[in-house]
């Protein structure tokens, strides 16, 4: 079942990437609305447009041309401090699109186009929080599969970190150990600045004993491959034998 889910998710990402290419190559002026380029490096006409107005005009529509232009604007306004709020609005507009696969793929395309390292990206916290809000019991399987099939480094980091900030009360009880297992598998590959969020998430998902098991596992600290595998198995076994019980609702 998991493999078929990954195949389906891979097809969604592939189709989304193809749609993004189509947006960029096939869009053009329409008779109903100004299609001037986004303010930025697109020419004198584009630079005269107000970023907030540009986003509002396109966020109100749902066709592929509008989505493609928002993706393009997100990248083109990277160097414009005055467009930071407009770029935040683009994040909200894209991640809020339905179905989730279409809206999220549009956002990931925008994030991939922005070459700012995530550590220096002023919108990284907004991005992680916005995507994290989309994870619930119905969307989590898609998010888990997307981590494994997303090959672009910055978009993958966004999906992965957003899962670490997912609201656990929105997940089904049986999904928590699965997400904990994913985090245990990926823990050794995380950058040092990413580990605190995953440590906190694992503490909530699987208990502090799992965190203790993983505490000394870093490959950069001299651990052998055998030791990493052993600690991973210990952590997974602890999750299997000691599922974290949900706290009873307050009276």
User: Tens digits of per-residue pLDDT, 156-206?
Assistant: 999 999 999 999 999 999 999 999 999 999 998 999 999 999 999 999 998
- The residue-averaged pLDDT of 23-35 equals 38
CB 105, CB 95: distance < 8 Å: no
Q: Which residues contact 65 (CB under 8 A, 6 or more apart)?
A: 23, 27, 30, 35
- The angle, 0 to 180 degrees and rounded to 10, between the axes of the packed helices 175-186 and 140-149 is 20
Estimate to the nearest angstrom the gap between the alpha carbon of 43 and the chain centroid: 31
* The pLDDT of residue 66: 86
- As given in the structure block, the two tokens for residue 174 are 């049986």
**Given this model, what pLDDT does residue 214 score?**
81
DSSP state of 86: H
Residues with Cβ within 8 Å of residue 63, at least 6 apart in sequence? none
Q: pTM (2 decimals)?
A: 0.72
Confidence (pLDDT) at 236:
66
Q: Which has more confidence, 121 or 37?
A: 121
Q: Taking 80 as the threshold, does the pLDDT of residue 246 lie above it?
A: no
SS3 content of the chain, % helix, strand, coil (to 5): 70, 0, 30
Q: What is the mean pLDDT of the chain?
A: 78
Residue pair 79/114 in contact by the 8 Å Cβ criterion? no
Contacts 24+ apart (CB under 8 A), 124-127: 126/88, 126/91, 127/91, 127/158, 127/162
Two structure tokens written together for 29: 């002026």
| pLDDT for the residue 48 | 46
Residue 231 has a pLDDT of 57
């Amino acid at each position: 079942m998991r493999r078929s889910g990954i195949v389906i998710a891979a097809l969604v990402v592939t189709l989304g990437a193809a749609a993004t290419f189509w947006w960029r190559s096939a869009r053009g002026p329409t008779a109903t609305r100004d299609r001037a380029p986004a303010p930025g490096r697109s020419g004198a006409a584009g630079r005269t447009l107000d970023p907030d107005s540009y986003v509002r005009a396109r966020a109100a529509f749902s066709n592929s041309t509008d989505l493609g232009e928002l993706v393009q604007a997100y990248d083109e306004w990277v160097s414009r401090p005055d467009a930071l709020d407009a770029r935040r609005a683009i994040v909200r507009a894209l991640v809020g699109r339905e179905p989730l696969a279409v809206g999220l793929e549009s956002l990931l395309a925008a994030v991939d186009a922005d070459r700012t390292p995530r550590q220096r990206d002023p919108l990284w916290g907004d991005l992680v929080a916005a995507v994290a809000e989309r994870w619930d019991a119905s969307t989590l399987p898609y998010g888990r599969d997307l981590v494994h099939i997303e090959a672009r480094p910055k978009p993958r980091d966004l999906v992965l970190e957003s899962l670490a900030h997912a609201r656990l009360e929105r997940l089904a009880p049986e999904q928590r150990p699965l997400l904990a297992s994913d985090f245990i598998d990926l823990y050794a590959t995380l950058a040092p600045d990413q580990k605190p969020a995953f440590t906190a998430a694992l503490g909530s998902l699987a208990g502090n004993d799992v965190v203790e098991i993983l505490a000394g596992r870093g490959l950069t600290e001299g651990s052998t491959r055998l030791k990493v595998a052993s600690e991973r198995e210990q952590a997974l076994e602890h999750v299997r034998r000691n599922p974290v019980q949900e706290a009873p609702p307050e009276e």
